[in-house]
Amino acid sequence: MIKRVFQGAIDNIQIMDENGEVDVSLFPSGLDDNKILEMYKYMSFARALDAKCLSLQRQGRAVTYAPLIGEEATQIGSAMAMRAGDLFVPNFRQHGVYLVRGLPLEIMFLYWRGFEEGGAIPKEVGGFPYIVPVSSQMPHAAGIAFAQKYNKKDVAVLGYVGDGGTSEGDFYEALNFAGVFKIPMVAIIENNQWAISVPRSKQSAAETLAQKGFGAGIKCVQVDGNDVVAVYKVISEAIANAKDGPTLVECVTYRMSMHTTADDPTKYRDPAEVEIWKARDPIDRVRKYLTRKALWTPEFEAKMGEEQLRLIDEAVAKAETFKPDPKSMFENVYSYMPEVLQEELDDSVANNFWQG
């Protein structure tokens, strides 16, 4: 006897297309044009910030940097869906998420200048430091989400991972844990089609990355990651349902630039592919929508850009005059100071070791 015991399907959701046209039947309730305008501002701000960081790195004023250009909708849409008390665990590319959640820009620049203080994220941001090892942040996100459930808190935890990260054991272990214990975690795959030089087609034979959640027994959905409205809707619903268990969301987007400033994508990527994705630019489609609504003009764009560049330049100036305190390597490790670490700190101060 043959009896089918499982059958799954993945929905792909798009609300705003490349021309800025929307499917009104799917439009999220509570999202108005003023909120979409705010999304546009954040997306533009993230791209301006990205350009500045890239420029600083090329000038030797910042360390190796991971650009986000092309992925603004995934980051801004998901961040704006978060409630005030929700938490997020990033990888190394979630600059837009930090921006929405209110991380002071100078702290972000401190991180990219290599200072310990750049990893000390203010509590009110609700986020954790950048995490560079591939997918190692996913068990962290699962553990943090488990803690929220254990303490009976209505808090959702968003964990971000790239398409390459879904091939790591950490990813599967975190999802399996999430499914078993039904923790309030939203796992977001920022599928930008390339894991450094490895294309999505060589990363997994699965038709979608979202379906990897089936094996963990959790809800799975795929969304147009270049559609900020669709991302906002899907993540909002996942957060609202987080009290009942986790959701895996695959955001299909594209990495317009290099993996990091240590990478040269022209050596492995066809320029024609980049041009195809440029037509799907997440910012362009929102601009087209706002133009039809008489909410965007060239004058508005110029004024917005000037203000954003002013804020960025002020933050860079603060970061470049910053004087590091070696004590930060001790103070920002634990939520409290363990006795053994206090002893090391006291010994370091007594011997004035960082003065040479």
Q: Which two tokens stand for residue 214?
A: 């089936």
* Listed residue (211, 214, 157) closest to 187, CA to CA: 157
Is 259 annotated as catalytic? yes
Spatial separation of the C-alpha atoms in residues 140 and 143, rounded to whole Å: 5
The dihedrals phi and psi of 31, each to the nearest 5 degrees, come to: -100, 115
342 three-class SS: helix
Dist. CA 21–CA 326, nearest whole Å: 53
Please check whether residue 78 is in contact with residue 229, taking contact to mean a CB–CB distance below 8 angstroms.
Answer: no
Cα–Cα dist 352/42, whole Å: 44
CB-based burial label for 92 (10 Å; 0-12, 13-18, 19+): buried
Query: Of all helices (H) and strands (E), which one includes residue 159?
Result: strand 157-162
Catalytic site residue from 47, 93, 95, 259: 259
- The catalytically annotated residue of 47, 255, 280, 285 is 255
Rg of the chain taking only CA atoms, in angstroms: 21
Which of 58, 83, 268, 292 is the catalytic position? 268
Catalytic residue list contains 255: yes
Q: Which residues are catalytic?
A: 255, 259, 268
